[in-house]
Amino acid sequence: MQRRQRQIQPTDLRAKAVGAVMRELRERAGHSQERLSEECGFDRTYISRVERGIINPTVSRLWKIADALKTPLSQIAKRMEVWIVNQERRPKKPS
């Protein structure tokens, strides 16, 4: 039996911000990952990997996601910036 590979955990706040904001907006819109992926023409695993911060979408794909969520791309970018600032202000966990 093959051992399961360890998941990649993003360390870059920008990668995490894209996923966190996308998940928040998707859930607020009442969409599942599957429904959002169908509306965008992507695979569900693509949406999952973006939300986990494993991959970053291109601008054109982010635009498709924004359209599917009926949210201006500029608002998504603004929310990402706010998310990063909030994360930077949080006290660091001791190692």
pLDDT in tens, 9-50: 666 788 899 999 999 999 999 999 999 999 999 999 999 999
| Domain assignments of the chain as residue spans, ordered by start | 13-86
Global confidence as pTM: 0.80
Report the distance separating Cα 32 and Cα 90, nearest Å: 29
Q: For residue 22, give both structure tokens.
A: 């996308």
Which superfamily does 13-86 belong to? lambda repressor-like DNA-binding domains (1.10.260.40)
